[in-house]
Structure 1
Amino acid sequence: MRRVVVTGMAGITPLGGEWPDIRAAFEKKRTGVQYIKDWDRLVDLRTRLGAPADYFDHARIFPRKKMRSMGRVAAMGVWSAQEALTHAGLIDDPVLTSGRVGVAFGSSYGSTEPTKGFVHFMETGEAAGLSATSYIKMMSHTAVINIGVFFGLTGRVITTSSACTSGSQALGYSYEAIKGGHADVMIAGGAEELCPTMAIVFDTLFATSCKNDTPQQTPQPYDRDRDGLVIGEGASALILEEREHAVARGAPILAELVGFGTNMDGSHVTDPKPETMAGALKLALQDASLSPGDIGFVSGHGTATVQGDIAESHATAEVLGPDAPIHSLKGYFGHTLGACGAIEAWLTIEMMREGRFAPNVNLNNVDERCAPLDYVVDGFRSIDTEFVMSNNFAFGGVNTSLIFRREG
């Protein structure tokens, strides 16, 4: 049986790109949510809140020649992949171009700026705003293709664009590719840029937080007074590797990915179904040959939307029981959409390795409609556990669950 381990991790978040900095923000319950002044011009947008990774200057991160086909989404994805490969000790390894290294990366959309040129063309017939790379920057698989080209990869490519499960499906499908012998190494993750078009998607559903005067107090996953999500941005890449391949080259083994479950509701595009959400968690447990009691901590999806939080909590309680400790990191970062599954997996592994898990932020009163669970509050929780579960759920009823095992 081919086993799959994590040998490198990196990312970009609204609270920085290094785990010690992010952990310090968690300790202080400091979030990356801001009032976005530029959105004041968008008169029909109710929310003014976002969580930008504004320290990351995507336009200057790589040489200009390398940037020709990259918008912000691709640049964040490529940078995360480069840092993760460096962490794994693979950045200069000839295995990258051997055909045995692949990439799976997701986003809800590509960079949105080039769409202006296409809209202008549709309205006027003038193509002045378009270039040969406009579509490459805009397409939903811009990150995965740019990663492949940047590193000269010739192995398996998996393009996941499933909204909030883009990053987690990239990890899960990479895991399956390695288990099945189709690759020895996979670069897996997701990226998303902050754009008001993402906010208006949820604004039209009355699902965004409009607590514009108190950005540090929202979003509020699982809280009875939550009023919706906040859009964030970021990226993360994890290097997944066949265990014997990693051991043979003396690679650091950070965790093992032991279970993956994914399914879909098949009933409604925006109304989550607890029964099938629970089914994804059960599939992951079955894949890992674990019982519910083996899971020591749950990284929840927790978007701070009414229907989503309630459905997710009931699914989690059904499978893992009322004592399962759970948090959502979206209170700190906002909802990074296609990146959230990868970012949350990265940080969950970091916390599992340290045996300390961050609390929910802005959770003051658990919504009584949510199922009874151990919603971690107050401060970091010390938990010595061998297994953690990371769950994500997306528009269209797409459900994912990943289970990681602590190494050593």
Structure 2
Amino acid sequence: MERKVVITGMGIWSCLGTTLDAVRDSLYAGRSGIVFSRERKDAGFRSALCADIPHPDLKPFVPRNQRQFMPEEAQYAYMATRAALENARLDADYIASHEIGIIYGNDSVAEATMHALDKFREFKDTAACGSGAIFQSMNSTVTMNLACLFKLRGINLTASAACASGSHSIGLGALLIRNGLQECVVCGGAQEANMYSVAAFDGIQSFSVREDEPARASRPFDRDRDGLVPGGGAATVILESYEHAVKRGAPILAEVVSWGFSSNGDHISTPNVAGPARSLELCLRHGGISPQDIGYINAHATSTRIGDSREAEAIAQVFGDVKVPVTSTKSQTGHEMWMAGASEIIYSMLMMKSGFIAGNINFENPDEDSAKINVLPETKEAHFDMFLSNSFGFGGTNSTLIVKNML
């Protein structure tokens, strides 16, 4: 018998804030976290735009001998997970006596790998890489570090699926719980925010060059969009079976109703309509949900010309005459990549709990495709009890989640 999967805790480290309250207020106010980086421009970037991510101080929490194993994204993930566990009322004693798992999204460790290999080339000695290099440079660095630091003894797995990584981590965690293989799983996504991690993206002209107006550069669905803006940070949600959450008296925030997924089976970087549409359709079907039940869609829309258009077409195809409110929080955060599928669940949760939909800022003129859907340009007071979140990635990997409010 399938079990109900619930969210009992959330934590985030974002350009919109590092507490849930701060992020909620930024969403409501339509505040952008995008800035101009002189460092990137001086280094040779075509676009020097990026999200402004505060650097965490782990010294009060993690001993130096353990910090040496943690690259930038693992540090973000530690802070987000620390907050999520506290939010879920999961303390060290409970974790020590129960099987808690972790599935986290991450798909690069560019800076740590580069630094280690630079030292090797400079000194012509592999020992120069440093004792922490191997643990910092693996894609699984987030899950290996967090599992050790928080003493997690359940599943320990990294979801590496481009910009759908964070969403797939939640879908996989929910699947394990639904089928009785785990009672509680820490899920999320992390993205390194250093310039080295996105230099190749800049090289293929993926980024907006609206450098004189950083806050107006990320403009999903807008006719005049000219590319995405890179972001980063980490987001963590705690998933549990409903029975487990009730038994331990946990705060039950929402239910993960359904997960849909697909592969485009097509071009490695150019999305199509059929793949995303199939992910949406399967998510609705798996949850027994009709389009009329959805009160809000948090779109993947990154502010690229083709990606936004194909997603708008897919939403219009699946939802038809049901004009559900649609926004992309990437208009405020930029594209948080491996983190995005998890952070956008938290952004949507904060809206749902607070009775508003954050506006798709910088949406001034629709194009032919975005005109087919109901994009909200400004924050709107709105009550909704169920939302859908899309995450699509390079290689044509697609993930869709539906989450329902629980009072």
TM-score band, normalised by the shorter chain?
Answer: over 0.9
Distance 1:129 1:38, change over 3 A: farther
Gaps of 5+ in 2: none
Contact kept, 8 Å, 2:16 with 2:27, in 1: the verdict is: no
Paired residue type of 2:70: M
Residues 125-169 of structure 1: CA deviation (Å, up to 9, x unaligned): 333641121121121111111111111112112211112111100
- Shift of residue 34 of structure 1? 0.7
Partners of 1:170 and 1:161 lie apart in 2 by 9
Match of 2:185 in 1: 186
Map of 1:53 onto structure 2: 53
Say whether residues 1:360 and 2:380 are aligned partners: no
Query: Unmatched 5+ residue regions in structure 1?
Result: none
1:37-186 correspondence runs (5 A): 37-43=38-44, 45-54=45-54, 56-57=56-57, 62-94=62-94, 96-98=95-97, 100-110=99-109, 112-121=111-120, 125-127=124-126, 129-186=128-185
Q: Which residue of 1 aligns with 2:235?
A: 236
CA change 1:32–1:58 in 2 (3 A) is farther
Q: Residue 15 of structure 2 aligns with which residue?
A: 14
1:213-264 Cα deviation digits (max 9, x unpaired): 1111111111111110111111010000000110111111000001001111
Alignment check: 8 A CA contact 2:51 2:231 kept? yes
Q: Which amino acid aligns with 1:25?
A: S
CA contact (8 A) 1:389 1:404 kept: yes
Check 1:171–1:129 CA distance in 2 against 1; reply closer, same or farther (3 A cut): same
Aligned residues: 405
Structure-2 residue corresponding to 1:312: 311
Alignment check: 8 A CA contact 1:170 1:188 kept: yes
Q: TM-score, with normalisation over the residues of structure 2? A: 0.95
Q: What letter corresponds to residue 23 of structure 2 in structure 1?
A: I
Equivalent pair of 2:110/2:196 in contact (CA under 8 Å): no
Identify the residue that residue 386 of structure 1 maps to in structure 2: 385
User: What corresponds to 2:35 in structure 1?
Assistant: 34
The residue aligned with 1:251 is: 250
User: Secondary structure, in 3 states, of the residue corresponding to 2:351?
Assistant: helix
Percent identity of paired positions between Structure 1 and Structure 2: 33
CA distance in 2, matches of 1:250, 1:101: 16
Give the root-mean-square deviation of aligned CA atoms.
1.8
In 2: Cα distance, 1:59 partner to 1:328 partner: 35
Using the alignment, how far apart are the partners of 1:316 and 1:331 within structure 2? 18
Specify the SS of the correspondent of 2:163. Answer: helix
Q: Secondary structure at the match of 2:251?
A: coil
TM-score by length of structure 1 reads 0.95
Kept after mapping to 2: 8 A contact 1:317/1:373: yes
Aligned: 1:24 with 2:37: no
**For the residues of structure 2 that align with 1:130 and 1:312, how far apart are their CA atoms?**
43
Q: Distance in 2 between matches of 1:228 and 1:80?
A: 28
What is the CA–CA distance in structure 2 between the aligned matches of 1:197 and 1:242, rounded to whole Å? 39
Cα deviation for residue 324 of structure 1 reads 1.8
In 2, are the aligned partners of 1:80 and 1:235 still within 8 Å (CA)?
yes
- Equivalent-residue separation in structure 2 for 1:133 and 1:307 (angstroms): 40
